Amino acid sequence: MSYGEKFRNGNGYNGRPHETLMDKPVLITGGAGFIGTNLAHRILASGRCVILFDNLSRDGVEQNVRWLERMHGPRVQFVLGDIRDRAAVKRVVQRAGQVFHFAAQVAVTTSLVDARTDFEINVGGTFNLLEELRALETPPPLMYTSTNKVYGGLQDIALRKSGTRYEPEDGRIRDSGIGEWRCLDFHTPYGCSKGSAEQYVLDYARSFGRPAAVFRMSCIYGPHQFGTEDQGWVAHFLIQALENRPITIYGDGLQVRDILFVEDLVDAFLLAQKHMDKISGNAFNIGGGPARTVSLVELLASIERLHGVKPRIDHQAPRTGDQRYYVSDTAKFREATGWAPKVSAAEGISMLDEWLIDARHLTPEPVLAGR
């Protein structure tokens, strides 16, 4: 019997009679965060219960918990806990029918300041989760979110300036982006910790037969994002502009990323769990792809069009670990599951701007350009 059949009918699970993994709550570690909140909302709307396991260390995320509880009532099961606490992890894993592991230290800059904490959360916390999954006879399937930083600085990719952005000289990369064929090259403590954790996830699928897959994610954005300079830069740029604070540009601003609206990412997560039989043990690059790219200066221009004024800019030197170009080739995941993003960059940026204005009770302040 395949794992998928066990997952659907509960064979091998020693819980209540006739209870299947699908009857159990979905566990989202880091569930109070931006991605966790959007995923939880979709799952809760389908009628399932969700366990949000979070230490609430990120500013503002308690608002996400309150919003989910207000929208979905008792199906939201919030557990205050830390991924480094193995006993706490064990308690929630034993109750879970599916697992999405988002709890992490998420900033390159923070990892450079405090590499030990970065390691303890990203590697140690993931190891705690994997060991508790390994202890179960029929473990819930696991989706883990890694990062494009596992590919390093990509300095060997020759780039050229093209108007308001960099683009690869290699036509294949220019047309399709970076695929999983790219060799891993961990840069910064953050890249090392996330890369190490994802390799543990993939090996537990291989060595212990635990159903698990990895998303190496590019830039995700959307509602419920409390963006900062270090993480969530699309939301951060919009927030800074709305509050008439300067936006810091590190380098020349021609750096390019593919951006993916969070609802499209949620679609990908749900498809991944649905197709776990097929994709377990694999890592996939996930982002907006070549059709949904934006440079920093292009995002500034979009903000000017939305608000009618130029954002205030502060230029600084490039930062350690910053990639000048990264765009995901998502063909591998598309071929495995049929997934494709639907929201264009322009649509998504506008929707996030509207959400931020409403959520923060803001209006774009008309100021003189360059003030």
Domain boundaries defined on the chain: 3-359
The residues assigned a catalytic role are 190
Judge whether residue 370 has pLDDT over 70: no
**Which uninterrupted H or E stretch holds 168?**
strand 165-168
Judge whether residue 332 has pLDDT over 90: yes
Judge whether residue 371 has pLDDT over 50: no
* 30-62 per-position pLDDT tens digit: 999 999 999 999 999 999 999 999 999 988 899
**Which uninterrupted H or E stretch holds 324?**
none
3-state secondary structure of 71: helix
β-pairing, 256-261 vs 293-295, is antiparallel
Structure tokens at 51: 């366990």
CA-nearest of 7, 192, 197, 230 to 102 is 197
3-state secondary structure of 223: coil
- In the chain, the amino acid numbered 307 is H
Q: CB–CB of 342/271 below 8 Å?
A: no
Instruction: Please state which CATH class domain 3-359 belongs to.
Output: alpha beta
Q: Mean pLDDT in the chain? A: 92
Structure tokens at 88: 């706490």
Judge whether residue 10 has pLDDT over 70: no
Return the minimum-mean-pLDDT range out of 88-92, 185-189, 330-334, 358-362: 358-362
Mean pLDDT on 283-289:
98
Confidence of residue 367 (pLDDT cuts 50, 70, 90): very low
Q: What is the spatial distance between Cα 39 and Cα 34, in angstroms, rounded to a whole number?
A: 9
Q: Tell me the H-state helices in 56-180.
A: 61-72, 86-93, 108-113, 115-119, 125-134, 171-176
